[in-house]
Amino acid sequence: MANPKKADLSLLKLDYNNLTSEALGENGLSEADLADLKDPLTLAIKELKTKRDQGLLPYLDLPNDESLVNSLKKLSQKGRKKYTDVLVLGIGGSALGTSALFTALKPLNYNALPDKKRLWPRLWVADNIDPEGFSALLDRLDPPTTLVNVISKSGSTAETMSQFMIAFDWLAKSLGKTALVDHLLVTTDPETGVLRKIVNDLNLKSLTVPPGVGGRFSVLSAVGLAPLALIGVDIEGLLAGAKSAVAAGFNSWSTNKAALFAGLNWSLASKKGRGILVFTPYADSLAKVADWFCQLWNESLGKAHKLDGSANTVSQTATKALGVTDQHSQLQTWMEGPADKTVLFLETLNFKSQKNIPKLFKNQEALAYLGGQSLGQLLSSELKGTSRALTENGRPNFTLTLPQVAAKEVGYLVQTLETATVLSGVLYGVDPLDQPGVELGKKFTYGLMGRPGFTEFLDRYNQGLSVKKKFIVS
């Protein structure tokens, strides 16, 4: 069966047949369940518009920042001549989007390609502080041809700032304190925070995390666009796709992919006990979109309280998988495990390269049928077979299809999922833009690391330790 032509398809297709009772019987959403979505989704879309008009959703305006695009294009043309490597120091929302789009839009072995085939600098995203991992990474890089892009909105993220201090020292020892200025690019709040202060004191090059745009919604700001531009990603294509998605996010509920994504999952979580959303790309290039999405969904919706102060008792935890690999590790539990999962397949219809299976072992019935087909056909058949098996077993699953993994399509996808997340916040009645639950752990960490002002948390930590010693087996 031939793949559809790219021109026949929009930038993104949503097929949710296998979430409905027509496909799943009592495990699926009935016509009434679907009709029940109309009012809350219509209200949520209206609220999206109101909040945007009030300036409360600046992530929706990121695709319109033409002056940023122009300055990043200049930066990337200069950087291309000057740097062999770009090293991003960031964590969470400062890293996940960049990694996702890097993996999607450059060849999978990009960093290993010879210069002639690569044409742009390599990109490394340091999103952990493991000493072995960070040492191994720095060992591969050469300060005179490396640009370090440190990204922290607050400027005080302990992990990123530790990396920054190490990298600063590494650059300074090799290049001297004057020359290192050409090897540092700081992306942080335009006005506040210690990193902005350092930018001003040392006259460093800097970019801005736009006010009101949280880390997990920042991939299409300078946070993601700068490193992506520096390696030659088509950032205009990304933003063009995103712009289409912004507009589509205000469509009427039944033709609005972001709204349906939000509403269907909300309905499955609240009416069908589907508390786990398994985000499963069937393409190596899309693998890290799953990581990015898991932060977006979980940090936005995993809230103890609703906006009205009452307890929030329903939400959905997103987990990641990768097809076809994880079919061989997770399918058993998707098929037969607790009936708490919805599987989301993310597929592409066209790969950047193909690989044909040669016609070998023609006498072996168990192999011969493979010969003459392609790996892409097999991957696609695996997805279809898995989806059909889940459906026959009453397990809800749905599919997002990209005609190809290219800038415009990926820009459309991320912006659609961001709006789906904000609309979900309205449906659950929680604030999708805050993350109050992450502060306490940071305070204990500061206390343990001896940061001034956090002694009480060190004391509280030690107090907790003193009462528990019993339940340890060595």
Q: Does 192 bind its own copies (CB under 8 A)?
A: no
Residues 29-88 that bind its own copies (CB under 8 A): none
Q: How far is the CB of 474 from its own copies (least distance, A)?
A: 4
Does residue 275 interact with its own copies by CB under 8 A? Answer: yes
For residue 251, the one-letter residue type is N
Task: Scan for tokens 């979505």, then name that residue.
Answer: 37
* Torsion of the alpha carbons at 54, 57, 62 and 63, rounded to the nearest 10: -80
Question: In the window 134-163, what residues touch its own copies (CB under 8 A)?
Answer: 134-137, 139-140, 155-156, 158-159, 161-162
Establish if 174 lies at the interface with its own copies (CB under 8 A). Answer: no
Q: Is 109 in the site for its own copies (CB under 8 A)?
A: yes
How many Å apart are CA 219 and CA 289, to the nearest integer?
11
Whether residue 343 contacts residue 395, with contact meaning beta carbons closer than 8 Å, is answered with yes
Q: Which of 21, 84, 128, 174 binds its own copies (CB under 8 A)?
A: 128
Does residue 7 touch its own copies according to CB under 8 A?
A: no
By the rule CB under 8 A, 394 interacts with its own copies? no
Q: Which of 26, 308, 450, 466 is in the footprint of its own copies by CB under 8 A?
A: 450
Position 3 contacts its own copies (CB under 8 A): no
Residue 142 CB, shortest distance to its own copies, in Å, is: 14
Q: Which amino acid is at 47?
A: E
* CB 73 to its own copies: min, Å: 27
In whole angstroms, how close is the CB of 85 to its own copies at the nearest point?
13
Q: What is the DSSP letter of 1?
A: -
- Rounded Cα distance between 134 and 132, Å, is 6
Q: Which two tokens stand for residue 392?
A: 């026959």
Which of these segments, 74-82, 127-135, 142-150, 236-244, binds its own copies (CB under 8 A)? 127-135
By CB under 8 A, name the one of 85, 236, 299, 409 that touches its own copies: 299
Residue closer to its own copies by CB (options 38, 197) is 197
Q: How far is the CB of 67 from its own copies (least distance, A)?
A: 30
Say how far residue 410 (Cα) sits from the centre of its chain. 11
Q: Is 10 in the site for its own copies (CB under 8 A)?
A: yes
Phi-psi region of 155 (alpha: psi -120 to 50; beta: other; left: phi over 0): left
Give dist(CA 95, CA 100) in Å, integer: 9
Stretch that binds its own copies, among 54-62, 182-190, 224-232, 460-468 (CB under 8 A): 460-468
Instruction: Kindly state whether residue 435 participates in binding its own copies, applying the rule CB under 8 A.
Output: yes
Q: Is 348 in contact with 403 (CB distance < 8 Å)?
A: yes
Q: Which is nearer to its own copies, 49 or 451 (CB)?
A: 451
Mapped onto helix, strand or coil, the DSSP state of residue 401 is strand
- Choice between 236 and 425, CB closer to its own copies: 425
Asked about 442 being catalytic, the answer comes back as yes
- Does residue number 370 form part of the binding site for its own copies (CB under 8 A)? yes
- Whether 328 is catalytic: yes
Question: Per-residue string for binding with its own copies, 307-336, x by CB under 8 A?
Answer: -------xx-x-x--x-xx-xxxxxxxxxx
| Per-residue CA distances from 30 to 166, 268, 364, 394 (Å) | 57, 11, 46, 13
Cβ-based neighbour number of residue 443 at 10 Å: 17
Q: Does residue 472 interact with its own copies by CB under 8 A?
A: yes
Closest Cα to residue 279, out of 267, 261, 253, 263? 261
The verdict on 194 binding its own copies (CB under 8 A) reads: yes
For residue 324, cis peptide bond before it (omega within 30 degrees of 0): yes
- Judged by CB under 8 A, the residue of 47, 189, 234, 284 near its own copies is 284
Cα(113)–Cα(415) distance, rounded to whole angstroms?
Answer: 30
Task: Answer yes or no whether residue 447 interacts with its own copies by CB under 8 A.
Answer: yes
DSSP class of 337? S
Q: Which residue has the tokens 């720095």?
A: 138
The span from the CA of 49 to the CA of 37, in Å, is: 18
Q: CB under 8 A: which stretch of 72-80, 223-231, 236-244, 360-368 binds its own copies? A: 360-368
Contact between 424 and its own copies by CB under 8 A: the answer reads no
Considering the candidates 78, 117, 177, 328, report the single residue annotated as catalytic.
328
Query: How many chain residues interact with its own copies (CB under 8 A)?
Result: 155
Query: What SS3 state is found at 343?
Result: strand
Q: Which of 370, 386, 257, 276 is nearest to 331 (CA)?
A: 386
Residues labelled catalytic: 299, 328, 442
